[in-house]
């Protein structure tokens, strides 16, 4: 009567299997909540219409098409909203008994969180697909060809993956899902709106412009615009992150991943301790 039925695997192998199983669980749960998927699909459609037509008709960008200009911004911004949703979901999770049961099982401590983060990316794909269709409908085109466009989306998804860990941390720290919503919404709105997502930063007041230029979200948006071929004019001079937006995005994502995954896992292990 032994508890262990499988031949011993290495701990890395086991960790991968645990993470796979945790992801699978979140995907099954995700499928059972069509209202959430529906909402996540509807949201970007509303944004494209709202900003593209309602505001877009009175915003002009020098020498370019505003819809094309806007889309990278909306792609990048949706990753911010997704990370805020992760925060709320994780805070909700942690108040449920099922996490306690998982903690009494011999699984890698990281697996549940990895499952949460990977499933967030996967469950966000329908929304991304719909957003791309909307973008194509309003006239956005990947001007540099399909290969660069795919690279652009990979970059944005890498950033989304990294951000999801910040969302997870907010969810682990928050005492309730409402608190997680508040904690995560403030940076999301600040970083999402004080940026080059909707407008060219050059017309902003200086103090705001500095913040917007150095805002990492602006770099992600700029990287997208470069790869999609929607860039208008040269980057503001002296802002390294906008002069090298692809490297900035990848570097930043990797730093967040390397630093915050261990922090999240440690925090998860001692929640309730």
Partner 1 sequence: MGSLMTDFAISAQHLARSFGETRALVDVSLDIPAGSVCALLGRNGAGKTTTVRILTTLLDPDGGHAQVAGFDIASQADRVRERIGVTGQTATMDELLTGHENLEIIGRFSHLGAAVSGQRADELLEQFDLVDAGTMLVKKYSGGMRRRLDLAASLIANPEVLFLDEPTTGLDPVARSEMWAAIRNLVARGTTVLLTTQYLDEADQLADTIVVVDRGLVVAEGTPEQLKASIGRPSVVVTLVDADQAALEKVRAALGTDAVIRGRSVSAPAADGLETLAAVVTRLEELGVPVHEVGLEHPSLDEVFSTVTHRLGDHSPDAPAAVPA
What burial class does residue 8 get, using C-beta atoms within 10 Å of its C-beta: 0-12 exposed, 13-18 middle, 19+ buried? exposed
Q: Does 5 bind partner 1 (CB under 8 A)?
A: yes
Greatest Cα pair distance, the chain, in angstroms, is 75
Ramachandran area for residue 99 (φ above 0: left; ψ -120 to 50: alpha; else beta): alpha
The distance of closest approach from Cβ of residue 206 to partner 1 in the complex, given in angstroms and rounded to an integer, is: 49
The distance of closest approach from Cβ of residue 273 to partner 1 in the complex, given in angstroms and rounded to an integer, is: 5
Name the segment binding partner 1 (CB under 8 A); options: 2-10, 43-51, 83-91, 155-163: 2-10
Q: Does 34 bind partner 1 (CB under 8 A)?
A: no
> Contacts with partner 1 in 72-131 (CB under 8 A)?
97-98, 100-107
Q: Of residues 28, 46, 125, 150, which one binds partner 1 by CB under 8 A?
A: 28
The distance of closest approach from Cβ of residue 105 to partner 1 in the complex, given in angstroms and rounded to an integer, is: 4
| For partner 1, the closer CB: 13 or 178 | 13
| For partner 1, the closer CB: 108 or 197 | 108
Name the segment binding partner 1 (CB under 8 A); options: 27-35, 116-124, 157-165, 218-226: 27-35
Size of the site for partner 1 (CB under 8 A): 29
The first and second tokens of residue 253, run together, are: 């994502």
Place of tokens 């995907």: 27
Q: Does 27 bind partner 1 (CB under 8 A)?
A: no
Q: Does 176 bind partner 1 (CB under 8 A)?
A: no
Name the segment binding partner 1 (CB under 8 A); options: 20-28, 71-79, 135-143, 213-221: 20-28
Q: Does 146 bind partner 1 (CB under 8 A)?
A: no
Contact 79, 71 (CB under 8 A): no
| For partner 1, the closer CB: 13 or 202 | 13
Dihedral angle sign, alpha carbons of residues 27, 25, 108, 20: negative
The distance of closest approach from Cβ of residue 90 to partner 1 in the complex, given in angstroms and rounded to an integer, is: 15
| For partner 1, the closer CB: 25 or 141 | 25
> Contacts with partner 1 in 234-253 (CB under 8 A)?
none
Contact 230, 152 (CB under 8 A): no
What burial class does residue 237 get, using C-beta atoms within 10 Å of its C-beta: 0-12 exposed, 13-18 middle, 19+ buried? exposed
Binding site for partner 1 (CB under 8 A): 1-6, 9, 14, 17-18, 21, 24-25, 28-29, 32-33, 97-98, 100-107, 272-273
């Amino acid at each position: 009567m032994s508890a262990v039925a499988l031949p011993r695997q290495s701990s890395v192998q086991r960790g991968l299997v645990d993470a796979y199983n945790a992801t699978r669980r979140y995907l099954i749960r995700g499928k059972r909540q069509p209202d959430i998927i529906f909402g996540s699909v509807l949201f970007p459609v509303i944004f494209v219409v709202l900003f593209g037509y309602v505001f877009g008709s009175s915003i002009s960008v020098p020498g370019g098409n505003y819809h094309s200009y806007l889309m990278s911004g909306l792609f990048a911004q949706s990753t911010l909203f997704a990370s805020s949703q992760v925060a709320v979901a994780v805070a909700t999770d942690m108040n449920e008994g099922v996490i306690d049961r998982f903690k009494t099982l011999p699984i890698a401590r990281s697996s549940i969180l990895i499952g949460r983060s990977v499933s967030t990316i996967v469950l966000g794909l329908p929304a991304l697909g719909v957003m791309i269709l909307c973008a194509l409908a309003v006239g956005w085109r990947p001007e540099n060809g399909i290969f660069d466009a795919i690279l652009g989306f990979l970059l944005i998804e890498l950033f989304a993956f990294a951000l999801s860990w910040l969302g997870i941390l907010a969810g682990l720290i928050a005492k309730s899902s409402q608190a997680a919503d508040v904690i995560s919404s403030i940076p999301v709105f600040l970083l999402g709106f004080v940026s080059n997502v909707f407008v060219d930063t050059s017309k902003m007041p200086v103090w705001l412009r500095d913040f917007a230029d150095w805002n990492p979200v602006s770099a992600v948006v700029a990287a997208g615009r470069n790869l999609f071929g929607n860039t208008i004019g040269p980057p503001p001079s002296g802002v390294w992150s906008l002069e090298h937006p692809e490297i900035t995005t990848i570097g930043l994502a990797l730093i967040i991943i390397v630093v915050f995954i261990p922090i999240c896992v440690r925090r998860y292990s001692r929640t309730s301790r």
